[in-house]
């Protein structure tokens, strides 16, 4: 009897608090307090249907890769053949000069990685650097339409007006010229470019559709992401009516998996992360949970994390957390 009375008393005390919270949250995030919007589910389902297929466990030998010598112990038959290219003026140059040409054609740029139907693509940045590439917000996520082109509601690249727009930075034809050029130049594509990701799924798909030795050549990453409420806010998620609270890739699982992948990239030298969160985190504990996966990334010599909200300084992390600079308050004397 006492237990029943205690439960009733607890319900009477907690009910007004829960009601007040729901009313307060509905004023700021009304879209999350009703049943999950159909568009969010449709977006998730379309992205799942169009996801690129990962490489097989033992990927076949690339036809453009020069085979190992015949004296190798490998017994598998080799595909393709390598022709003599000595008549080529490019191949006739010393290797050092050829490498300079390869780097000029393929490297030292920013590659925006994008989702396409059932595969990935990349667009060569039109700005001098990733920092100077204008970053906007299209109402759903971060956007660089000046470089990217047209995207549908699921953030999948689509041709504009039915015309096949050029992607892949016009570098695929060069790599496909011959096997010697491919084998001598492919490393520059991965090791000298900055790979820019504005979609967490892009980075995850890129890691499982690229040969591991090529993926681990990447030295520079630029990641932009728009975080969705109520990520890492367990109290808010329990009070919401929709299930799940967040669809991938906006959920905690996708976020943590992304940083597990980054933490295992052995040749990283620089990472720049830009995070947008409209309202910021409710308290420091929620932000600490969000930043916890980033603490496992210890290889890069320079690791910057730019956030759009204010908060306390973080000094014990392998990254530099950069918050927006708030204007100094104007005193009464200065206002006069």
Domain that holds residue 278: 13-52+95-326
Instruction: Look at residues 226, 230, 228 and name the one whose alpha carbon lies nearest to residue 21.
Output: 230
**Torsion angle of the four alpha carbons 48, 50, 53, 54, in this order, in degrees rounded to the nearest 10:** -60
Answer whether 107's CB lies under 8 Å from 174's CB: no
Residue 307 lies in a domain: yes
Tell me what the mean pLDDT of segment 156-181 comes to.
Answer: 74
Percent of residues, the chain, with pLDDT higher than 70: 69
Q: Which of the listed ranges 51-55, 203-207, 238-242 does the model predict with the highest average pLDDT?
A: 203-207
Residue 336: pLDDT over 90: no
Q: Name the pLDDT band for 75 (thresholds 50, 70, 90).
A: very low
Rounded Cα distance, 123 and 114, in Å: 8
Total domains in the fold of the chain: 1
Query: Which residues, 6 or more positions from 92, have their beta carbon under 8 angstroms from its beta carbon?
Result: 86
- What confidence score (pLDDT) does residue 145 get? 61
Rounded Cα distance, 145 and 134, in Å: 9
Rounded Cα distance, 215 and 189, in Å: 10
Percent of residues, the chain, with pLDDT higher than 90: 38
Tell me what the mean pLDDT of segment 291-305 comes to.
Answer: 97
Residue 72: pLDDT over 50: no
Which residues sit opposite 197 in a β-bridge? Answer: 113, 223
- What confidence score (pLDDT) does residue 86 get? 73
Q: Name the pLDDT band for 141 (thresholds 50, 70, 90).
A: low
Residue 32: pLDDT over 50: no
Residue 2 lies in a domain: no
Instruction: Look at residues 256, 322, 318 and name the one whose alpha carbon lies nearest to residue 290.
Output: 256
Instruction: Look at residues 44, 43, 25, 21 and name the one whose alpha carbon lies nearest to residue 34.
Output: 25
C-alpha distances (whole Å) from 297 to each of 62, 111, 123, 265 are 31, 22, 27, 9
* pTM of the entire predicted model: 0.79
Residue 332 lies in a domain: no
Average pLDDT, the chain: 80
Residue 75 lies in a domain: no
Given its phi and psi angles, is residue 178 left (phi above 0), alpha (psi -120 to 50 degrees) or beta?
A: beta
Give the β-pairing of 119-124 and 110-116. Answer: antiparallel
Instruction: Look at residues 250, 252, 248, 269 and name the one whose alpha carbon lies nearest to residue 260.
Output: 252
Instruction: Look at residues 247, 252, 214, 257 and name the one whose alpha carbon lies nearest to residue 231.
Output: 252
The larger pLDDT score, comparing residue 328 to residue 174, is at 174
Residue 73: pLDDT over 50: no
Tell me what the mean pLDDT of segment 84-113 comes to.
Answer: 90
Residue 331 lies in a domain: no
Least confident of 212-221, 260-269, 279-288: 279-288
Tell me what the mean pLDDT of segment 293-309 comes to.
Answer: 96
Q: Name the pLDDT band for 189 (thresholds 50, 70, 90).
A: very high
- What confidence score (pLDDT) does residue 60 get? 55
Residue 5 lies in a domain: no
Q: Name the pLDDT band for 123 (thresholds 50, 70, 90).
A: confident
Residue 67 lies in a domain: no
Residue 70 lies in a domain: no
Instruction: Look at residues 43, 46, 51, 48 and name the one whose alpha carbon lies nearest to residue 205.
Output: 51
Rounded Cα distance, 294 and 292, in Å: 5
- What confidence score (pLDDT) does residue 245 get? 85
The larger pLDDT score, comparing residue 285 to residue 280, is at 285
- What confidence score (pLDDT) does residue 296 get? 96
Residue 162: pLDDT over 70: no
Residue 304: pLDDT over 90: yes
Tell me what the mean pLDDT of segment 211-231 comes to.
Answer: 94
C-alpha distances (whole Å) from 321 to each of 48, 244, 309, 317 are 33, 30, 11, 8
Least confident of 49-53, 197-201, 239-243, 302-306: 239-243
- What confidence score (pLDDT) does residue 238 get? 85
């Amino acid at each position: 009897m006492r237990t029943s009375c205690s439960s009733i008393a607890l319900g009477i005390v907690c009910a007004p608090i829960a009601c007040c919270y729901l009313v307060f949250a509905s004023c700021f995030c009304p879209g999350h307090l009703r049943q999950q919007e159909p568009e969010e589910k449709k977006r998730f389902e379309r992205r799942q249907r169009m996801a690129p297929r990962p490489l097989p466990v033992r990927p076949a030998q690339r036809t453009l890769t020069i085979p190992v010598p015949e004296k190798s112990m490998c017994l598998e038959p080799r595909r393709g053949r390598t022709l003599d290219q000595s008549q080529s003026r490019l191949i006739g140059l010393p290797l050092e000069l050829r490498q300079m040409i390869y780097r000029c054609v393929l490297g030292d740029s920013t590659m925006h990685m994008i989702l396409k139907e059932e595969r990935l693509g990349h667009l060569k940045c039109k700005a001098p650097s990733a920092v100077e590439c204008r970053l906007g917000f299209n109402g759903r996520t971060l956007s660089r339409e000046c470089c990217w082109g047209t995207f549908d509601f699921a953030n999948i690249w689509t041709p504009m007006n039915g015309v096949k727009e050029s992607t892949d930075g016009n570098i695929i034809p060069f790599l496909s010229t011959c096997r010697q050029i491919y084998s001598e130049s492919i490393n520059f594509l991965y090791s000298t470019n900055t790979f820019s990701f504005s979609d967490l799924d892009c980075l995850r798909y890129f890691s499982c559709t690229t040969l591991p030795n090529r993926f681990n050549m990447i030295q520079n990453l630029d990641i932009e992401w728009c975080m969705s409420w109520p990520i890492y806010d367990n109290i808010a998620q329990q009070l919401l009516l929709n299930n799940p609270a967040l669809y991938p890739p906006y959920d905690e699982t996708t976020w943590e998996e992304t940083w597990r992948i980054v933490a295992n990239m052995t040749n990283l030298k620089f990472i720049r992360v830009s995070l947008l969160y409209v309202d910021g985190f409710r308290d420091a504990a929620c932000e600490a949970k969000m930043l916890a996966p980033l603490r496992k990334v210890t290889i890069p010599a320079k690791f910057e994390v730019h956030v759009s909200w204010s908060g306390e300084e973080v000094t014990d992390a392998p990254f530099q957390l950069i918050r927006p600079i708030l204007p100094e308050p104007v005193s009464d004397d200065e206002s006069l």
